[in-house]
Amino acid sequence: MPGSAPSLALIDEAESRLARCAPLLAALFPELAAAGGHIESRLMAAKPLQQALGAGDASGSWYLKRDDELPVAGSIKARGGFHEVLAIAESIALEHDLLKDTATDRRILATPQARALFSQYAVTVGSTGNLGMSIGVMAAALGFDAVVHMSADAKEWKKDRLRKRGVRVVEHAGDYAEAVAAGRAQALAAPRSHFVDDEQSELLFFGYAAAARGLARQLAEAGRVVDAAHPLFVYIPCGVGGAPGGISHGLKALFGPNVHCFFAEPVASPCFLVQLASGADSPVSVYDIGLDNRTEADGLAVGQASELVASLMRPQLGGVFTVSDDELYLNLLALKDTLGVEVEPSAAAAVSGPGWLGSATGRAYAPDIDMSAATHVIWATGGSLVPPDALRGFQDHARQLSQRRAA
């Protein structure tokens, strides 16, 4: 991992890799063809959400970043995960003289010759959720022996979807941490095997960081200036910290002090908050302070933050706020009712951000900033692959909650 200064060179490298591999991705996935293989999501004006949540114009302008719609993976994990698998494929192909340099057309990586080469290598990940989907599907599409280790309680539809795409799903009787540990041990013991490490991976981190320029472009297109008089506030759901950390790192490199990044964590799983608040570089988990890490936000149910990302973020992050499970569901409902957007519970965490910043506690962060010219970006991180009946279940639960509150 780099030092705490935003490392533009590594961000540029990730961006270049994704750009030169875009034609390859378009060739591998019909659903990416329309976008020319570029991994990008919409930035959507969110005025109706802003109004419904009682925030006036004095609080600035709200936008929703639609990573829930990212093709193939259906979540923010497309950014980091695809980048890492592409980097692995490039490196093996270079080693075997299939690629000469960065100028070689990457579509060569979709030829039978390349597939035969990749089939001798395994790409392994331990994940019950979206990371497994992203890594597994991309690795299998290139012909790797793609292996996803999951805990037995992982959702059936996720296992089915992976198997249909040619991914090997290995089920473990224990919990998520045990599945990851088993995956890591098996991958490290095997030759020609690459383990994608959610807690330590630079390739994941810089894949996420590459999101920053795309957002900057979209803000400019929307006529939103970012400077000292027009600050940018970005709110991102946080699990282990890699995705929100990478994106924040990228945004800091572009906008410096004019961007303020905040992470959203479940009340029961605030691992990043605990790590930063401890002030220590040694690991501190949510269990250490008596929390149980039980939340409906399965993508954010992480007890221990990535130490590397936490130390990198310490001087860069605006702050962390927590969201109760009930609030996640009410946010999910607000997104559906005001914008017609359907997400998974984890992805609704950041909706609470602007309101929280406008509260008495939040105002203490930047009492002198005039918010009326501020831009707020709420990152929606996942949901488009969730089966319709599961999405309906989330909304039914949210409506019951909302009615109970109103009664």
26 versus 211: smaller Cβ distance to ligand PLP: 211
Least separation in angstroms between CB 80 and ligand PLP: 7
Enclosing H/E stretch for 9: helix 8-20
Q: Where are the alpha helices (DSSP H) in 53-152?
A: 77-95, 112-118, 130-142
Of 289, 283, 297, the C-alpha closest to 331 is 297
118 versus 263: smaller Cβ distance to ligand PLP: 263
Least separation in angstroms between CB 116 and ligand PLP: 33
Residue type present at position 155:
K
Binding segment (CB under 6 A) for ligand PLP, from list 69-77, 141-149, 178-186, 209-217:
69-77
Count the residues in the chain: 407
55 versus 386: smaller Cβ distance to ligand PLP: 386
Residues 112-141 that bind ligand PLP (CB under 6 A): 129-130
Distance CA 162, CA 129 (A): 11
214 versus 345: smaller Cβ distance to ligand PLP: 345
Binding segment (CB under 6 A) for ligand PLP, from list 112-120, 212-220, 233-241, 283-291:
233-241
Least separation in angstroms between CB 102 and ligand PLP: 27
Query: Widest CA span of the chain, in angstroms?
Result: 68
244 binds ligand PLP, rule: CB under 6 A: yes
129 versus 353: smaller Cβ distance to ligand PLP: 129
Site track 333-352 with ligand PLP (rule: CB under 6 A), x = hit? -----------x-xx-----
How do beta strands 122-126 and 145-151 pair?
A: parallel
Site track 368-397 with ligand PLP (rule: CB under 6 A), x = hit? -------------xx---------------
241 binds ligand PLP, rule: CB under 6 A: yes
Enter the tokens of residue 297: 């936000």
* String of DSSP letters for 301-330: --SS--HHHHHHHTTT--EEEEE-HHHHHH
Enter the tokens of residue 382: 């996942």
Least separation in angstroms between CB 47 and ligand PLP: 24
Q: Which residue is nearest to ligand PLP (CB)?
A: 239
Of 154, 177, 297, 318, the C-alpha closest to 237 is 297
Site track 264-303 with ligand PLP (rule: CB under 6 A), x = hit? -----------------------------------xx---
Q: Which of 75, 124, 128, 316 binds ligand PLP (CB under 6 A)?
A: 75
Least separation in angstroms between CB 127 and ligand PLP: 9
318 binds ligand PLP, rule: CB under 6 A: no
Angle between helices 77-95 and 130-142 (to 10 degrees): 30
The CB density around residue 222, as the number of other CB atoms within 10 Å, is 13
Residue 121 near residue 144, CB atoms below 8 Å: yes
32 versus 76: smaller Cβ distance to ligand PLP: 76
Least separation in angstroms between CB 323 and ligand PLP: 12
Interface size with ligand PLP, residues (CB under 6 A): 20
Of 404, 384, 269, the C-alpha closest to 329 is 404
109 versus 236: smaller Cβ distance to ligand PLP: 236
Residue 49 near residue 235, CB atoms below 8 Å: no
Distance CA 22, CA 125 (A): 23
Per-residue DSSP letter, 167: P
The CB density around residue 250, as the number of other CB atoms within 10 Å, is 30
Least separation in angstroms between CB 339 and ligand PLP: 17
Label residue 50 exposed, middle or buried (CB < 10 Å: 0-12, 13-18, 19+).
buried
145 versus 327: smaller Cβ distance to ligand PLP: 327
Least separation in angstroms between CB 122 and ligand PLP: 22
In the sheet with 122-126, reading across from the earlier edge strand, the strands are 168-172, 145-151, 122-126, 193-196
> Which residues of this chain interact with ligand PLP, rule CB under 6 A?
75-77, 129-130, 237-244, 299-300, 344, 346-347, 381-382
